[in-house]
Amino acid sequence: MAIKSSNVIARVEPEIKEQAEHILAKLGISASNGINMFYRQIILWNGLPFRPSIPSTSPKSLTDMSKDEFDLKLTRAFMQAKAGEGIAADEFFESLKSEVIKSHAE
């Protein structure tokens, strides 16, 4: 394995750095290794390892999603639930009900 002797200096927003490093830490990966992995993926894919896009503000219906998109959403939801992230169903439905009532009042 080659010796890591090159430095990367980049300016990022503190919140972005903190959030990314928190996620990497949960995965057991240092920021340095995360950046190294990202660079290796760029080399492997001969470009960015993801498609840059602007996410839609409205959720897609199942018929608008590819199988891969749907699988990714399910996987993310499962991981969030497993990590205890999210809210209880009754809280969600109360929030949804409030939003619907509010939007109809406008």
Under the banding of pLDDT at 50, 70 and 90, the label for residue 10 is very high
Mean pLDDT of the chain: 89
Under the banding of pLDDT at 50, 70 and 90, the label for residue 81 is confident
Q: What is the pLDDT of residue 14?
A: 94
pTM (two decimals):
0.51
Please say if the pLDDT value at position 101 is more than 80.
Answer: yes
Please say if the pLDDT value at position 78 is more than 90.
Answer: no
Highest mean pLDDT among 37-41, 51-55, 91-95, 98-102: 37-41
Domains and CATH numbers, the chain: 1-52 (1.10.1220.10), 54-106 (no CATH)
Among residues 55, 78, 75, 58, the alpha carbon closest in space to that of 67 is found at 75
Which residue shows structure tokens 């960015």? 48
The amino acid at 3: I
DSSP secondary structure, 14-69, as one string: HHHHHHHHHHHHHTT--HHHHHHHHHHHHHHHTS-SS---PPPSSPPPGGGS-HHH
- What number of residues does the chain have? 106
